[in-house]
Amino acid sequence: MSLVSQAPREAPVSQVSQAPREALVSQEPREALVSQAPREAPVSQVSQPSWDVQASLPAQPVQIPQTGKPERRLPVAVYKLLLVCASLIWGFGFVVMKDTVDMMPPSCLLGVRFLITGLILGLVFFKRMRHAFDRDHLLFGSVIGVMLFLGFWMQTLGLIGTTPGKNAFLTATYVVVVPFIAWLVIRRRPSVYNIIAALVCIGGMGFVSLQGTLSIEAGDALTMVSALFFAVHIVYVARWSQGRDVFVLTVYQFLAAGICGLAIGLPTEAFPPVEAVFAPAFLGNMAYLIVFGSCLALLFQNMALVHVPPAQSSLFLSLEAVFGVLFSVLLYNESLSLRLIAGFALIFASIVISETFPLKLRRSGTGPDMRRTT
| For residue 185, pLDDT beyond 50 | yes
* 45: three-class secondary structure by DSSP: strand
Least confident of 148-152, 179-183, 203-207, 302-306: 302-306
Q: What is the structure's pLDDT at 212?
A: 63
Alpha-carbon gap, residue 323 to 84, rounded angstroms? 10
What is the average pLDDT value for the chain, to the nearest integer?
Answer: 77
Determine the angle formed by the axes of helices 246-268 and 106-124, rounding to 10 degrees: 150
Q: Residue 12, class by beta-carbon neighbours within 10 Å (0-12 exposed, 13-18 middle, 19+ buried)? A: exposed
106 against 364, higher pLDDT: 106
| For residue 13, pLDDT beyond 50 | no
Q: What pLDDT digit, counting tens, does each position of 249-263 carry?
A: 889 999 999 999 999
Whether the CB-CB separation of 234 and 178 falls below 8 Å is answered with yes
Among left, alpha and beta (phi > 0; psi -120 to 50; other), residue 333 is: left
Alpha-carbon gap, residue 121 to 240, rounded angstroms? 20
Q: What is the structure's pLDDT at 276?
A: 86
Which amino acid, residue 14? Answer: S
Half-sphere exposure of 296 (CA within 13 A, CB side): 16
Alpha-carbon gap, residue 248 to 263, rounded angstroms? 22
Among left, alpha and beta (phi > 0; psi -120 to 50; other), residue 204 is: alpha
331 contacts: CB under 8 Å, gap ≥ 6: 95
